Amino acid sequence: MPKQAFTEEVIELLREIPRGMVSTYGGIAALAGNPRAARQVVRVLHAYGEKEKLPWWRVINKQGALSLAPGNGYEEQRDLLEAEGIVFDANGRIDLDRVLWQPDWMNEDG
């Protein structure tokens, strides 16, 4: 199969994240083929987030927290996530064990 550009893979993966679930920068990068390319995912969100209508708010960091700073998008992202049913604990963290999304093929037997 032809190897797609990383960016293309990332965009497709982001489109698969269902409402009410989240993924991580590193997780998306890993699914796209390079677990080290988390930062590239950030670039994709900046470069194509809006034009590709990507659910940028469903991408958080591996600590289960939002990477955006208060006053710089944090509230907007949190609002969007809570609107989908995502719950934040007292420390502003999300329980990834509950809402971390992964492609269906990750659950198949093989």
Interaction site with DNA (CB under 7 A): 5-7, 24-27, 34, 36-43, 45-47, 49, 56-57, 59, 61-63, 67-68, 73, 77, 91
The least CB distance from residue 105 to DNA, in Å, is 21
Closest CA to 65 of 35, 25, 32, 36: 25
Nearer to DNA by Cβ, of 70 and 108: the residue is 70
How far is Cα 49 from Cα 90, in angstroms, rounded to an integer? 29
CB of 66 to DNA, least distance (A): 8
- Beta-carbon contacts of 59 under 8 Å, excluding residues fewer than 6 positions away, are 14, 17, 22, 23, 24, 25, 28, 41, 45
- Give 36 or 109: the residue with its C-beta nearer to DNA: 36
